[in-house]
Each structure stands twice: as C-alpha cells, then as structure tokens.
Amino acid sequence: MQQASHLIVKDLVLIGGGHTHAIALLMFGMKSLPGLRLTLISNTCHTPYSGMLPGHVAGFYDFDQCHIDLRRLGQFAQAQLYLDGAIGLDLDNNKVICANRPPVAFDLLSIDIGSTPAQELVPGAAEYAIPAKPVAEFLSKWDQILAEFGQHPAKTLSIGIVGGGAGGVELAMTMQQRLLKVKSQNSQVKIHLFDRGAELMPDHNRWVRRRLQNILINRGIQLYLGETVCAVLPDKICCESGLVVDCNYIFWVTQASAPHWIKASGLQTDSKGFILVSDTLQSLSHPHIFAAGDIATMVNHPRPKAGVFAVRQGKPLFANLRAIALCQPLQFYQPQKLYLSLIGTGDGNAIASWGPFGWQSPLLWRWKDYIDRKFMDRFQNLPPMARVSSQQPIVTNNQKLTTNNQMHCAGCGSKVGSTTLERVLQRVQVEYPITARDDIILGLETPDDAAVVEVPVGQLMVHTVDYFRALINDPYTFGQIATNHCLSDIFAMGATPQSALAVVTVPYATEEKVEETLYQLLCGAMKVLSEAQTSLVGGHTTEGAELAFGLSCNGLVTRDRLLRKRGMEPGQVLVLTKALGTGILFAADMRQQAKGRWIDGAVSAMVLSNQEAAKVLMAHGATACTDVTGFGLLGHLLEMVRASKVGVELDLEAIPSLAGVREMLDIGIVSSLQPQNLRASRWISNLSQVCDRPNYPLLFDPQTAGGLLASIPADRAVDCQRSLVALGYKDTQAIGRVIPVLEGVKPIRAC
Ligand SMILES: Cc1cc2nc3c(=O)[nH]c(=O)nc-3n(C[C@H](O)[C@H](O)[C@H](O)COP(=O)(O)OP(=O)(O)OC[C@H]3O[C@@H](n4cnc5c(N)ncnc54)[C@H](O)[C@@H]3O)c2cc1C
C-alpha cells in the first residue's frame, strides 16, 4: 500500500462515497495535493450509480457495471478508506463519530451521504416497507424476491410501491419487466403504485407525465393517485380513503429525508434536516465543512434531489476543497436550472424530459446507455496512478510548510516525541484500557527503561516477533490485522498471550497528524490485545516513509500443553481454519485489479483472531499445530512434516480460498513472495501431475493473519470442524491426511 512520503499537514475527511465525492476523489487522484491526507468514511465499498440503478433492477446491468468500487477509487486517490458509518459530528473538536471505530479527526470535512425515503411519518412503514435506499439493502431484498419468485412457479406476487416520483415510476416499470422475465406460465405479477398527488412525477412536464402514466396503465400497473398511504401492515397498504391493498412486498420511494444526526450535530439545516450550503458548497454555519448531493440544500439555488445535480457538483467541490486547503479563494457554483432526465421504461425504451419538452424512442435508451456506461468507465478503467502533480505547499496555522524536501532525522532523531506518545496512550485507553495483570510487574502504567514481567511458577514463556508494512490504507484496521498476525504464533503453540511490545513506524507528518495516525493504529492493536487479555507493556515508535507495525509478544503455557509443529501422527486429519489468498488479493489490490468486496472479505478473515480456534483444536486432541503466514500453506506444512517425520496427502480441491482469488490466479496475479515460496514445490512427490491444477498456486501464497493448521485425530475431525464453523471460522476445511513417510519418497502428495 503506497503512502505519501510527504509531510502530512492537513486532514480532509469525506463522509459518504456518493456521486459528488466519487468525482472529487477521481480528480484528487489525477491532481493530488502533497500534505493533504484524504480519508473517505463510507458505509459501503461499492456505491451505486443512480443512473443505472433502474437498469440493474430490470436486469440490463450487473452489479459491477452500476457500482463504483470505492476501494479502488480510494487507492487511486491515495485516500484512506474507513469502512464505517458516520453517526455524529463533534464540531467542538472537529471529529467524526463513527459506529464501529474511534472518532476520526478532521481539519476539513465534506459530506455526501445522499438521502433516504422518509418512512417515519407513516406507521408501519419503517417496520414493513423496504426503502429504496440504502441501495445495498434494497438490492439484497430485491435479489431475494427474484430468487424466491423464480422458485415458486404458481405464485401470485403482489408488489406495492409508495411514491410516484421518478424513482417510484422507474421502479414500477423495471420491476415489472424483470419479474415478467422470471415468472413461469402459472404465476402472476401485480404492481401497485401509490401517490398522494393527482398526477405522477410532478417535477416533469405535462407530456412526460401523461406519457408515463399511459405506459403504466397499458402495462397493467395499478395506479392509486390521490391516495395518501396512512399505515403499512406486514402485507397491506392502507390509505386515508379507506382503500386497503394486499401486497407481498412494499417498497418505499417517497420524498427524501436526511438522517437525524446531521441536525443534531449543530450544522445549520433546512426544515427537513438537509445541510444548508452556500454557492461555494460550504456549510452556512461551519465554513470548514462542505456538503453536496442530496444531503445538501444550496440556499440560493434549491434543486430537486437528483443524481444529476450530485454529479455536477463533483468538479466545483474538488476545486473548492483544494482551494481551501491551499488558502486560496473559493469558486462560486450555480447549478443549471433545466436538466435533462432520461427515464428508462424497462423495455429498451426511454423517455427524455427537458423543461417543457419530452420525447420517447429506443434511440434515447441507447443514448442513455452510452452516457451511463461512459460515466462509469471513468471509474472502472482508472488511469495509471498519478504521481504527486502539485508542488504547492499547504498552509497550516498561518505557517508555510514545504511538504517535500523536508529533512527527516534518522537514529533516535526519528523517534516520535514522548508527549505525543503519552497523549496517544491516554486517548487510546479511553477506548481500550490496558489489560491489568498480576504477572506484569512493570508495564506502561509504571514506565521504566524496560518492562518487567513474571513467569508464573510451572509455566513456560513463549516469545515471538513480527513486523510489516501496512497492507491497507486504514490504520485502525491495520492495527487489528497486524496484532492478530503477531499473536497467532502464541496461539499456534497452545499458549496464552501475556504481554506485548509494539514497534511502530508512522508516516512523516506534523505532530498533530502523527498523533492521529498513532491513535487510530494503537486503538486497533489495543482492541485485539484487550480481547486477548494481553497487556501492552511498552514499545518504540519512529517516523518513516510509510506506516508499519509489529509486536513482540510473550505467551505462557504449561509444558504439557505446548503444541509444536512436530507431533503429527499417521492417520490424522489436517484441519485448516481460514481460507487462503490474502497475498494474491493484496497483490491484485496494488495493481487495482481486486474488487473492493474481495478485499472486504480478506479483511474480515484477517481481523478474526485465532484464539478461539486454538482452543477448539486443543479440545479436539490436536497433536501438532502452526499458523499459516508468510511461507504459505506448503512452506509451513513442510516444517510440520519434517519435524514430525511423516508424509501428507493433500486434497487440493478441499483447500478453501477467499472470494476473488480464483479470478486473480486466472489472470496470473500472485504475491511478489510467491516465487520464493514456490521452491517448496520440490517436496511434492507427484508435482508434474498437479502443478496445473487451479488450486496449486494457492499452496505458495503468503498469508497475513492466516489461519491455523493442525493435525487432529481422524475420529474428532468432523466434530472439530463443526465447532470451528460455529465459532465463526466459516471456511474451516479438512484439507488432507497424515501418512507414514517412506524412505526416499518426497513427503507431500497432492490429490
Ligand atoms: C430508485 C431510484 C432511482 C433513481 N434514479 C435516478 C436517476 O435515474 N437519475 C437521477 O439523477 N437520480 C435518480 N435517483 C436519485 C438519486 O439516487 C440521488 O439523487 C443520488 O443518488 C444522490 O447522490 P448523492 O451523491 O447525494 O448520494 P448517494 O448516491 O445516495 O450516495 C451516498 C453514499 O453515502 C453512503 N452513506 C450514507 N450514509 C452514510 C454514513 N452515515 N456514513 C458513511 N457513508 C454513508 C451511502 O452508502 C452511499 O454510498 C434515483 C433514486 C432512486 C431511489
């Protein structure tokens, strides 16, 4: 993961990866600003492009065609990506409060979190209706409905859609068209569209309104105009007029609403809770905070909440974020009054609406399709990563700092100052207090030249150390991954971790920014250490070109419970607790080839501690164990096999791999360490028969925070696997069996 080698002086935090931020990030990627650290906080790593969403519902576009991959985009923009939802703002201290991580500090903030259909006003709507946003939840429900409908050939499916704006009308047409394709001869599809207005789509001209209304009627879509929905029951829509309509599913596409935390934060909002912004897209109350897209209301130019406006704001937002970071004058932006809407009708046609004009033609659909694909192409085929293209300094505290050619001292001159460290440790402990243990004689609470720990009588001390560069642009998550990785050796030995010393390199930055990086990183590390009841007793922190972290860990174990690499016995089954492929996926990530959700999958596996897995393996009679890390599965297995003087029959097909690994192997992406690990292949007895098999390269993939590999008595293996899966090690597999080693025969046989 590349990191800026420039001094970081300002933090620009973007909340939400909506249309405006996607464009701004693209532009930051092409014209970065040295010294400005970008952080995107997003509750999803795939953000939908609204223009293609109805086409996706209709089945014209697959998921990737209509979603922007924020991991890839973030990487292109050299932005940190924090996958979390913002739930509040602490404006006194300039912090974003997130649902699942420590607060995130900012100097400049921009908010583009979209809107959600207002459900609160109608009883039962929040409980029983499916809102069109958040889109991820809407689509997951839609996929489920499609699958269920396809499986029940004689079903009558009745869908209610509440809201007759452009979104509701498009959904009614596209859902119907899709369901008609899925349905069998004996099943039926009924679509009911409700709106309190006398006509649909009041923001559009008369011709467009009439045309769409006729299309809906001709297609047998039931229109309930002038009907105000007053209650939603699990299977019914109730209107003020007394009308009650039975529906299997109810979709909510009413007017946009803003989340409560925006207003509660103290930002000035309009009567509906949307952030009031000036012509520069700055908050009226807090000029260092910007807002764009649906969540913002331009006080001088109010416009409908539509993706087209969010997209157009991308360029001016980028220009103004850059300008404010450079202390330059900001630009005024005035959105267009008339805008072209191309409304897909779900059958390969589209209707154009522009002010008083309207037109319908299949050509319009083709044109819309062309425009939308072209828009998405900018995000799907990102240009090669730009090097820093501006040498302009960022101004901070009225002081100009040159952000390159900065002299960085080495030796102890590169250490992070003690006051910074003290402050960070105090802050971290508010979230994750250091584990107090009786066997820690001198730790961080009573600092000295070195930590002093006690080895209780009858116990052995297990020592291990690991340290590596950040593989992900999120110090909090990296802190968790690295700590899991470092503790893994202890668990693999059957030991319980006791204490740890941290070694950290933080990127060059101002004191304040160093503090923030350290804070996020150590929060991640301390979260894992606290869960493992392990005390952080000291450490060493320096500044350098990029973030790196490691721990020297101590663990305790009694001699009789010590689990070694040796100890495998013929007849036993080999159990692997996590899927492989982190090396391949992160190699792909560096080449911008990995999909964001694949990296999410890898991260979920890496933040899963091996502690509980070790306990289960021990409880099921494991006689040998190791953790699978840098040398890959085969390298670590060979160490076990040699130490145990046995052979192994590996079931290649049973080896679990993370999502996306096969695709990346197919295009030849492997880790840079793979060629060295591949040397272990000489120990495979039937190499020529298996080296072309799809899973073969997986054997040599270096793992970060990989799983445990253990040798279990055959009669306990199934039970052991079940227990591991129940504890969250969902990819656990029996991947082979231990066999006697024969003189002169290579010990590994793959089948
Ligand atoms: C069914 C439907 C069809 C539509 N079709 C069209 C169309 O064809 N053309 C058109 O112009 N408009 C259309 N719209 C409207 C359009 O979707 C919105 O106007 C547009 O998406 C607004 O863009 P945005 O950038 O403001 O936010 P969004 O596109 O909604 O993006 C917001 C992002 O922020 C993330 N986020 C939200 N909350 C948080 C949080 N608390 N923390 C972190 N991240 C968060 C979301 O996951 C999302 O990725 C449609 C709307 C619907 C419901």
> What pLDDT, in 10s, does the model give residues 134-189?
999 999 999 999 998 888 766 789 999 999 999 999 999 999 999 998 877 778 89
Q: What is the pLDDT of residue 408?
A: 67
- In the chain, domain spans: 10-115+260-380, 125-257, 407-562, 564-751
User: For the chain, what percent of residues have pLDDT higher than 70?
Assistant: 95
What distance in angstroms lies between residue 171's CA and the mean position of ligand 1's atoms? 15
Determine the pLDDT at residue 203: 86
- Place domain 125-257 in its CATH homologous superfamily: FAD/NAD(P)-binding domain (3.50.50.60)
412 carries an active-site annotation? yes
Ligand 1: which of 14, 50, 63, 351 to mutate, judged by most atoms within 8 Å of the beta carbon?
A: 50
pLDDT in the model for residue 184: 77
Q: What is the mean pLDDT of residues 445-464?
A: 93
The answer, yes or no, to whether any atom of ligand 1 lies below 6 A from the CB of 163, is: no
Distances from the Cα of 183 to the Cα of 189, 349, 565, angstroms: 8, 22, 57
- pLDDT digit string, tens, across residues 471-484: 999 999 999 999 99
Give yes or no for residue 12 having a pLDDT over 90: yes
Which one from 66, 327, 412, 553 is the annotated catalytic residue?
A: 412
pLDDT classification of 4: cutoffs 50, 70, 90 = very low
Whole-number pLDDT of residue 51: 94
Between residues 38 and 2, the one the model is more confident about: 38
User: What region does 189 belong to: left with phi over 0, alpha with psi -120 to 50, or beta?
Assistant: beta
In this predicted structure, the answer to whether residue 387 has a pLDDT above a threshold of 60 is no
Q: What average pLDDT does the segment 568-595 reach?
A: 97
Whether 132 is in the pocket of ligand 1, judged by its Cβ within 6 Å, is: yes
Residue type for position 590 = M
Which run of H or E residues covers position 95?
strand 95-98
Q: What is the pLDDT of residue 187?
A: 81
Looking at residue 383, its pLDDT comes to: 85
133 lines ligand 1 (CB under 6 A): yes
Q: What is the pLDDT of residues 609-648, one digit of tens each?
A: 999 999 999 999 999 999 999 999 999 999 999 999 999 9
Q: What atom of ligand 1 comes closest to residue 70's alpha carbon? A: 49
pLDDT of 388 strictly over 50: no
Q: Is the pLDDT of residue 392 over 80?
A: no
Q: Kindly state the average pLDDT of the residues 114-125.
A: 92
Specify whether the CB–CB gap between 594 and 677 falls below 8 A.
no
pLDDT digits (tens, 9 = 90+) for 717-750: 999 999 999 999 999 999 999 999 988 889 999 9
Query: 394: pLDDT confidence band, cut at 50, 70 and 90?
Result: low
Question: How far, in Å, from the CA of 657 to the mean position of ligand 1?
Answer: 33
Pocket test for ligand 1, best of 23, 70, 106, 113 (most atoms within 8 A of CB): 113
- Does ligand 1 come within 6 angstroms of the Cβ of 372? no
- Is 18 near ligand 1, meaning CB less than 6 Å away? yes
Q: Is the pLDDT assigned to residue 200 strictly greater than 50?
A: yes
CATH 3.50.50.100 for domain 10-115+260-380, yes or no, is yes
Token pair for 121: 């006003």
Helix/strand/coil for 347: coil
- Phi, psi torsion values for 543, nearest 5 degrees: -100, 150
Q: What is the pTM of this model?
A: 0.94
Residue-level pLDDT at 386: 54
- Quickly name the fold that domain 407-562 has: 60s Ribosomal Protein L30; Chain: A; (3.30.1330)
Residue 310 Cα to ligand 1 middle (Å): 9
Q: Please, which residues have CB within 8 angstroms of residue 688's CB and are 6 or more apart in sequence?
A: none
Residues near 568 by beta carbon (within 8 Å), at least 6 away in sequence: 623, 624, 640, 641, 644, 646, 648, 711, 738
Distance, CA 305 to ligand 1 centroid (Å)?
A: 9
Do the domains at 125-257 and 564-751 have one common CATH topology?
no
Average pLDDT, the chain: 93
Query: What pLDDT shows up at residue 415?
Result: 72
Task: Quick: pLDDT tens for 310-348.
Answer: 999 999 999 999 999 999 999 999 999 888 999 999 998
pLDDT attached to residue 405: 43
Give the CATH fold of the 564-751 domain. Answer: Phosphoribosyl-aminoimidazole Synthetase; Chain A, domain 2 (3.90.650)
The residue written with tokens 């492929």 in the block is 581
